[in-house]
Amino acid sequence: MDLGLGGRTALVSGGSKGIGRAAASALAAEGVGITLVARNPEGLAAAAASIRARSQVPVATVAADLSREEEVERVAASVETPDILVNNAGAIPPGSLAKVDNETWRAAWDLKVFGYISLARAIHARMAARGSGVIVNVIGAAGEKFDPDYIAGSAGNAALMAFTRALGRASPAHGVRVVGINPGPVETERLVMLQRARAEKDFGDPERWREFLSHMPFGRPAAPEEIGAAVAFLASPRSGYTNATILTIDGGG
């Protein structure tokens, strides 16, 4: 299916690996020019090279820490107004209220919550002035499941869900759509690393890490490419009447 995205541009945060890289790859395959943003220049260079090798589109990179307001402003100023903004940077650590201290909580939210809000604020205004654009916020299913052992993540994701819906409600008047995706567990490098460490500890064999995931729907977590494909579809004209809503992709778990 041609998504009708050829010739458009996208800014993808957290684009050097995992879901962000998969989303950028899916968009590039549809003919979208990409700007990748992440903290690590080497990771960005590797991701950009991989995308260029598969898709004949321009791929730029910007190394930046989006937990800092001045860095958000620098990133926004460094690009022409994109047709698509994919907010994806950040991972909030697990833990109960007693275990996640204020410093850890605030640092995580500075990137995952306020980073999304600040970059959306900068880009949305320019999209609205132009009269077109799509913002896709990759959030997380914990925002609707309220896990007490992932309390900072559940609260942060719930806040981003509300932010997405509230901003989206005002956006059609300006020709802009705002949508979100709530992935469940996804087989990223981080998930594999954590499960391998757990398997080493429990079984003495890191290669048995998939045994911890066998209870999941379809016996596995989602692949990053499955989330990336959804990002591309939601950002496309094929989904042009989808706005102020959140798509949950957790296998029905």
Give me the CATH number covering residue 180.
3.40.50.720
Domain match, 76 and 144 both: yes
Domain match, 206 and 163 both: no
pLDDT in tens, 5-16: 999 999 999 999
Domain match, 202 and 104 both: no
Q: Residue 143 above 90 pLDDT?
A: yes
Q: Report the C-alpha gap between 224 and 107 in whole angstroms.
A: 25
pLDDT in tens, 48-61: 999 999 999 999 99
Residue 136's identity, in one-letter code, is V
| pTM given for the model | 0.95
Domain match, 83 and 198 both: no
Q: Report the C-alpha gap between 64 and 80 in whole angstroms.
A: 17
Q: Residue 191 above 90 pLDDT?
A: no
> Which residue range forms the structural domain that includes residue 217?
188-221
pLDDT, average across residues 153-182: 98
Domain match, 217 and 126 both: no
Q: Is 22 inside any structural domain?
A: yes
> In the block, which residue shows the tokens 């995580």?
108
Is 164:123 a contact under the CB 8 Å cutoff? Answer: no
pLDDT, average across residues 153-178: 98
- Among 59-63, 178-182, 207-211, which is the least confidently predicted range? 207-211
Q: Report the C-alpha gap between 211 and 37 in whole angstroms.
A: 34
- Among 103-112, 153-162, 193-202, 210-219, which is the least confidently predicted range? 193-202
Q: Report the C-alpha gap between 247 and 168 in whole angstroms.
A: 14
Q: Report the C-alpha gap between 153 and 108 in whole angstroms.
A: 9
pLDDT of residue 249: 98
Q: Residue 118 above 90 pLDDT?
A: yes
Q: What percent of the chain has pLDDT over 70?
A: 100
pLDDT of residue 198: 87
Domain match, 173 and 232 both: yes
Mean pLDDT of the chain: 96
Q: Is 253 inside any structural domain?
A: no
Domain match, 201 and 163 both: no
